[in-house]
Amino acid sequence: MIILKIGGSILTNKDSLESEVDSSSLKRIAVEIKSSLDKSDKELIIVHGAGSFGHPPAKKYRIGEAFEESEYPQKRIGFCETQNAVKKLNMLICEEFIREGLPVVAIPASSFMTATNKRITHGNLDSFRRYLKKGFIPVIYGDVVLDDELEICVISGDQLIQYLAMNLNPDRVILATDVDGVYNKNPKTHDDAVFFEKFSSLEDLDTLEGTTNVDVTGGMVGKIKELLYLADLGIESKIINAEVENNIYKVLENENVKGTVISRGN
């Protein structure tokens, strides 16, 4: 089984305040995944981020922050707006994937997962296993869920990766984003950023700067933290650049692709 996360940075125009899908990237990625599945059958789960669809409403309503009982009606609407926005993105993604012949089935986190203090604590994954067995590609995405402590919270695609990998024991965990992998500082704002082929500790970063994008879930640092949890469990993951043509195809085919492997080993 392969768990593949496609970052919101690739699928949407994250810098825009409008909810825009990057249609050409989406189509290319769908074609790359299809080509790999045509070459050989693979059990695949796809996770995608919320990008420019989910972040603005989540930020506007400050989902995940503590609030007074009197604010509940407004927070509830914020939850619904966010849930609906990410569902729309998911629908556009699934539409394109199905057009390319990928048997995707959406399993939204808000419909079956709950959290405690922003960490997923419940979420029965039996339906993932059953759909996989029948040859489907389950798709889950950054979403809002009920929280035992905070009432509601945002769950990032990166946290979903961590939860799924911890519970489903995949052979490979791949994260596709818009940079080649992890650098000692943000490569988009620092020309002298140094690239890591292997990454095993947050101490290797120069700064804990998140990302230049509108993001409520932590950017690269948030991603690395989730992957280090996995590394602690002995599950290795790899971050690659999906803006480079054929990288998704190659990584699915286990061909050599530039990227950062996150593991605790040397």
Q: Note the residues at the interface with ligand ADP (CB under 6 A).
A: 7-10, 49, 177-179, 182-183, 185-188, 205, 209, 211-213, 215, 219-220, 223
* Closer by beta carbon to ligand ADP, 29 or else 131: 29
Q: 164 near 113, Cβ under 8 Å?
A: no
For residues 160 and 165, give the distance between their C-alpha atoms in angstroms, rounded to a whole number.
8
At its nearest, how many Å lie between ligand ADP and the CB of residue 89? Answer: 12
At its nearest, how many Å lie between ligand ADP and the CB of residue 50? Answer: 8
Question: Which residues on adjacent β-strands are paired with residue 262?
Answer: 199, 237
* Closer by beta carbon to ligand ADP, 15 or else 232: 15
At its nearest, how many Å lie between ligand ADP and the CB of residue 233? Answer: 21
Residue of this chain nearest to ligand ADP (CB atom): 7
Count other Cβ atoms within 10 Å, centred on residue 182.
Answer: 26
* Closer by beta carbon to ligand ADP, 9 or else 25: 9
* Closer by beta carbon to ligand ADP, 78 or else 259: 259
For residues 105 and 97, give the distance between their C-alpha atoms in angstroms, rounded to a whole number.
10
At its nearest, how many Å lie between ligand ADP and the CB of residue 74? Answer: 27
* Closer by beta carbon to ligand ADP, 80 or else 246: 246
At its nearest, how many Å lie between ligand ADP and the CB of residue 98? Answer: 23
* Closer by beta carbon to ligand ADP, 103 or else 187: 187
At its nearest, how many Å lie between ligand ADP and the CB of residue 10? Answer: 6
Q: Are strands 172-177 and 198-199 parallel, antiparallel or unpaired?
A: unpaired
